[in-house]
Amino acid sequence: MDQTEFEQVVRLVTEEVLRYLSAPGKPPASGADLDDEICPDCDLNCAEKCARKTRAVVDAGADRISCGPTVVELDAGFAGLIDHTLLKPEASRDEIRKLCQEAARFGFASVCINPWYVPLAAELLRGTKVKVCTVIGFPLGATLPQVKIYEAEESIKLGAQEIDMVINIGALKSGQDDVVQSDIRGVVEASHRGGAICKVILETALLTVEEKVRASMACKQAGADFVKTSTGFSTAGATAEDVALMRAVVGSEIGVKAAGGVRSFDDLKKMVCAGATRIGASASVKIMEQASGAAPVPATSAPAGTSY
């Protein structure tokens, strides 16, 4: 993609997102004009309301249309969307054990933990379907590229099956997109060599709309398996608008992970509606309880035979 094509993509995506976010309130429309109006109670997802707009989006090449949170239905397997997360620096071994027990009980996609705890999590989750996910260059993304590669390789040797890396945010803001893409590609290739997938954290709270577009494109071009919104350690976390923007840029070929501030079942539904295919949350058990309407689940004992 040359510079002219890139600028056109940025302009079109930016205009569409900003139009949704800043459209002033208007009186209700009727007849044919209804298709082109922003509804007074618009939830930023128009597939159920605006037939003309939906047709235009499909004609432009879209292969998926997001629904609003009021109409989304998630089946009983939605726990498999969640990376059960504990990344606080003071996390203890007992807390990691509890995290792994909960992940195995509910069938979460993975536990997402700091590299130090990868061997413990790998041992506790052996024989389950829950993956071990760890973070690389976390949470700042300013680590040297060769250090990120080494950290990913060593984590995979210790049992990590999924790698969440943070981009070089400063390089992106400096316009060094080639540096950003090379940094991502190094970790992606190291992950794939070790049989792991790689999710790339943009830290969207620190980026402009244009920078989010450029970062998402760099992830896709570098071969990432997912783009991810946030570390959860910055000024804000995931928003449905950012998820929708990232999905619009990367298309259907790779995943989108919403992380940071997803604390309820309603939050999860909004992110899925916007295009997320994975959710990072520390409130995963609470989300499951809200979804089922069940009483809180009591803690379980550690799996038999564990040595940690």
Catalytic residues: 164, 228, 257
What single-letter amino acid sits at 263? R
Residue of 108, 63, 70, 112 whose CA lies nearest to 272: 70
Burial (0-12, 13-18, 19+ Cβ within 10 Å), 208: exposed
Dist. CA 203–CA 181, nearest whole Å: 15
Pull the structure tokens for residue 82.
């969640």
Burial (0-12, 13-18, 19+ Cβ within 10 Å), 169: buried
> Kind and range of the H or E element at 62?
none
With H, G, I as helix, E, B as strand and everything else as coil, classify residue 201: strand
Helices (H), the chain: 3-22, 51-59, 93-106, 118-124, 145-157, 169-173, 177-193, 209-221, 240-250, 265-274, 284-292
Dist. CA 129–CA 163, nearest whole Å: 17
Dist. CA 274–CA 256, nearest whole Å: 10
Tell me which residue has tokens 């976010």: 21
